[in-house]
C-alpha cells in the first residue's frame, strides 16, 4: 500500500471547530477517543512490522527510509503542504475536494483491505473454500515479454475488498466521520507496518526534521491549520465533542493528523524490531516509547486545552519518543548498540509476530 519512500500525510495539529462551547464530558470523551484511536494503529502496526520483517524475502520488503530520505522528508512535506494551501486559495475548494475524494476512495479501499486481511484469515474456518487467483498483465511476447502486473489474491481478499468498498462508498457519498476514521486508521496502520526506518539515527533525523516542520507551519503561519480545515480527506482522525448532545450526527470535531500518529509510530515500530534483535525476550524500548507517546499526546491535549490554541503535536511527541528510549538505553548501557547502523537491519527468522523463536524462545507481544 505505502510502498513508496515518502508518505504524503500532513501533520494537522490537534484542533477544534470554532464557535462551539463543548461540555466537560464531551471534551473528555472526544480527547480520550482520539488518544485511544491513535494508539491502535501504532501498537498493532508495530507488531505487524515485525511480522513483515520475518515473513518476507529481502526482495519483497517494504522500501526502507534511509538517512538521506529522512533529511529530505521535511522539505518535500513543506512543499506539498504549501502547494495544497495555494491550490485552495486559487481554485475552488469544492472541485479540489471532489478529486481528492475519488483519489482517497481508491487508496482507502486498498488500505482497509490490506488491514482486514489477517483478521479475515482468522475468522474464516479452515473448511472455507478459499480459491487462489492471479492477476497478470504482460507486455510483448516471446523472449521480450515483460511483466507489468503480477498480483496474487484469494477469496478472503475479495471479501475484504467488498467490505472495504462498502465503507468507501459510504465515505464518498456521506463523508461521515466514522467512515473517515475507518479509512484513517487503515492508512495509519499500513504506514506504521510498511514504512521501515533503517536505524535509530535515521529515526532521530526524521523526527527532528519534522519537529521543526510542525512548529514552523503551526506557530509561524496559518498554513497547516487552514489546509487541515479545508482538506476533506481521511488524513486525520476526528471525534465529535457534541456526540452526547447530537449523537452520530454531531459536527463539532476535535482532530488529530495522521502524521502525528504515523511518524512517531514508525519510530516506535523500529524500537520493537530493535527489542526483537536483542534476543532478550524483553520489549523495554517498545513499551518505553509507547508510554512516551501517550505522555506526549496527553501533554499536547493539556497545553492546547489550557491555552485554547492549536498545538503542533510533534513539539511534544518528538522529545518524548526520542528521550524516553535514549534514557532507558543509557541506564542499561546499550546506547552505542542502539545507534549502531547494523544493530537490527531486519529480523531474519521466518516466523510471524506472536510465534516463538525456536532458537531463543522469544515472543513478540500480542
Distance CA 326, CA 323 (A): 5
The beta strands (E) that lie in the chain are given as 15-16, 64-65, 132-139, 146-154, 196-197, 236-240, 253-257
Name which of 268, 353, 276 is nearest 51 in CA terms: 353
Give exposure, 221-258, as e/b (b: 16+ Cβ within 10 Å). Answer: eebbbebbbebbbbbbbbbbbbbeeeeeebebbbbbbb
Distance CA 139, CA 123 (A): 38
Contact predicate 276/362, CB 8 Å: yes
Distance CA 51, CA 352 (A): 5
Name which of 26, 11, 32 is nearest 301 in CA terms: 32
To the query of whether residue 260 is one of the catalytic residues in this protein, the response is yes
Residue reference for cell 500518529: 261
* The Cα angle at residue 19 between residues 13 and 22, in degrees rounded to 5: 75
- Grid coordinates given for 52: 513483515
Residue 58 burial class via C-beta count within 10 angstroms: exposed 0-12, middle 13-18, buried 19 and up: exposed
Given 60, 69, 154, 214, the catalytic residue? 214
Distance CA 354, CA 118 (A): 13
Distance CA 364, CA 46 (A): 10
Print the SS3 string covering 96-111. HHHHHHHHHHHHHHHH
DSSP3 helix / strand / coil % (the chain, rounded to 5):
65, 10, 25
Given 69, 242, 260, 275, the catalytic residue? 260
Name which of 103, 337, 77 is nearest 212 in CA terms: 77
Distance CA 149, CA 271 (A): 34
State the first-to-last Cα distance of the chain, in angstroms, to the nearest integer. 24
Positions marked catalytic: 214, 260
Amino acid at each position: 500500500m505505502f510502498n513508496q519512500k515518502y508518505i504524503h500525510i500532513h501533520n494537522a495539529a490537534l484542533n477544534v471547530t470554532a464557535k462551539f462551547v463543548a461540555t466537560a464530558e464531551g471534551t473528555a470523551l472526544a480527547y480520550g477517543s482520539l488518544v485511544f484511536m491513535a494508539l491502535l494503529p501504532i501498537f498493532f502496526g508495530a507488531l505487524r512490522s515485525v511480522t513483515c520483517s520475518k515473513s518476507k524475502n529481502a526482495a519483497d520488503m517494504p522500501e526502507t527510509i534511509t538517512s538521506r530520505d529522512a533529511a529530505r522528508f521535511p522539505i518535500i512535506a513543506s512543499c506539498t503542504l504549501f502547494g495544497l494551501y495555494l491550490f485552495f486559495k486559487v481554485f475552488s475548494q469544492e472541485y479540489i475536494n471532489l478529486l481528492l475524494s475519488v483519489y482517497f476512495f481508491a487508496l482507502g479501499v486498498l488500505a482497509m483491505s490490506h488491514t482486514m486481511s489477517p483478521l479475515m484469515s482468522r475468522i474464516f474456518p479452515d473448511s472455507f473454500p478459499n480459491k487462489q487467483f492471479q492477476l497478470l498483465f504482460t507486455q510483448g511476447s516471446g523472449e521480450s515479454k515483460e511483466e507489468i502486473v503480477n498480483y496474487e489474491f484469494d477469496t478472503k481478499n475479495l471479501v475484504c475488498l467488498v467490505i472495504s468498498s462498502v465503507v468507501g462508498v459510504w465515505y464518498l457519498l456521506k463523508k461521515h466521520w466514522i467512515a473517515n476514521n475507518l479509512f484513517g486508521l487503515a492508512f495509519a496502520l499500513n504506514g506504521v507496518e510498511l514504512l521501515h526506518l533503517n536505524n535509530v539515527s535515521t529515526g532521530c533525523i526524521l523526527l527532528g526534521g519534522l519537529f521543526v516542520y510542525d512548529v514552523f507551519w503551526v506557530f509561524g503561519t496559518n498554513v497547516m491549520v487552514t489546509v487541515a480545515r479545508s482538506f476533506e480527506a481521511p488524513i486525520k482522525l476526528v471525534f465529535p465533542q457534541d456526540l452526547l448532545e447530537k449523537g452520530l450526527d454531531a459536527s463539532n470535531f476535535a482532530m488529530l493528523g495522521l502524521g502525528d500518529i504515523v511518524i512517531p509510530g514508525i519510530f516506535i515500530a523500529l524500537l520493537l524490531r530493535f527489542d526483537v534483535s536483542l534476543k532478550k525476550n524483553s520489549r523495554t524500548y517498545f513499551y518505553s516509547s509507547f508510554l512516551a507517546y501517550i505522555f506526549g499526546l496527553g501533554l499536547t491535549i493539556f497545553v492546547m486545552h489550557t491555552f485554547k490554541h492549536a498545538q503542533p503535536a510533534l513539539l511534544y511527541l518528538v522529545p518524548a519518543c526520542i528521550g524516553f528510549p535514549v534514557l532507558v538505553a543509557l541506564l542499561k548501557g546499550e546506547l552505542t548498540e542502539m545507534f549502531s547502523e547494523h544493530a537490527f537491519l531486519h529480523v531474519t527468522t521466518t516466523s510471524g509476530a506472536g510465534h516463538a523463536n525456536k532458537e531463543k524462545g522469544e515472543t513478540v507481544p500480542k
